[in-house]
Amino acid sequence: MALRETYEMYKSRQDAIKNGPKAHFWVNQEKRYVKPFKIYGNLYYVGDDWVCSHLVDTGDGLLLFDGGNCGASAMLVQAIWEAGFNPADVRWLIASHGHMDHIGAANFFRRMFGTKLFLGAPDARMFRERPELSMIQESPNCMDALFAPDVEIQDGDVMRFGNTEIQFYLVPGHTEGCIACFFDVKEGEETKRAGYYGGFGFNTLQEEYLKEIGDTDFTMRRRYLESLKKVRDEKVDIFMGNHTANNDLMAKRAYMQEHPGENPFLDGEAWGTYLDRRRDELLSTFCVFPKE
């Protein structure tokens, strides 16, 4: 095949992505870069202005929550450096769930730094048996790949990472293997409780999607509702968003910059308020009947 012909084929694929309906996910991701910042104590934000990644300095290595979007690994590495840490010190990466916009850098960190990868057990099974549900095929880079986690998280697991002990729960809904986790964050003599919910999107609760995956009774909608109830009353002082819209992260970041000494992330009501909001939106959007 002639060089010119192969170039034209390459260019046509590129144009299809640039002009496609999801171009904003893939094109010029660097414009979403956010200068990293400390949320509180040993908890830092290293994500972009769309999908979240958080870093915890455990005193015995770094713990990373989520690996960002496919194609955005360089931004994540830069954010960790700019936050004052060495990416090579990331010992553990916990994926909130198994969708391509949260696992983008996972394989890179494992290959480059020996980072151990953690994923909810049902999503690990999804990777093995139904990899198409990860949406990895939407990546414009056909070399992006899924992974076999080093640890499959089970409901109720408690694990220690350096000085940080994390309580895990499975909260199926957005995916079968979504996790919620809770842990203490320390600043000086003060301790606050952080909470992270693995995925709030309703895109995987749509009728067409559920029928395609074989959930013809739409049971996942009820399971999502039950998951919200399961962790609704956990004590959470710092609500960590999965996407920045969940906890108004960008607005809170701007507020911190404008009001030094004040921290809007310290909010004991934000967790329950947002989970209640998603419950109400779920009930008003879909045919779901809460249990008495």
Cα separation, 147 vs 98, whole angstroms: 10
pLDDT at 44 over 70: yes
pLDDT at 225 over 50: yes
- List the one residue out of 146, 139, 135, 137 whose CA is nearest residue 70: 139
> What's the confidence (pLDDT) of residue 89?
98
Q: Could you tell me if residue 19 is inside a domain?
A: no
pLDDT at 290 over 70: no
Q: Could you tell me if residue 90 is inside a domain?
A: yes
Band (287; pLDDT cuts 50, 70, 90): confident
> What's the confidence (pLDDT) of residue 176?
97
Q: Could you tell me if residue 194 is inside a domain?
A: yes
pLDDT at 291 over 90: no
Q: Could you tell me if residue 220 is inside a domain?
A: yes
- List the one residue out of 137, 20, 155, 149 whose CA is nearest residue 70: 137
Q: Could you tell me if residue 249 is inside a domain?
A: yes
Q: Could you tell me if residue 261 is inside a domain?
A: yes
pLDDT exceeding 90 applies to what percent of the chain?
97
Cα separation, 90 vs 98, whole angstroms: 20
Q: Could you tell me if residue 17 is inside a domain?
A: no
Give the CATH number, domain containing residue 117: 3.60.15.10
Mean pLDDT of the chain: 96
The residue range of the domain holding 134 is: 34-285
Find the angle CA(10)-CA(15)-CA(16) to the nearest 5 degrees: 100
The count of domains in the chain is 1
Band (97; pLDDT cuts 50, 70, 90): very high
> What's the confidence (pLDDT) of residue 292?
44
pTM over 0.85: yes
Q: Could you tell me if residue 16 is inside a domain?
A: no
> What's the confidence (pLDDT) of residue 228?
98
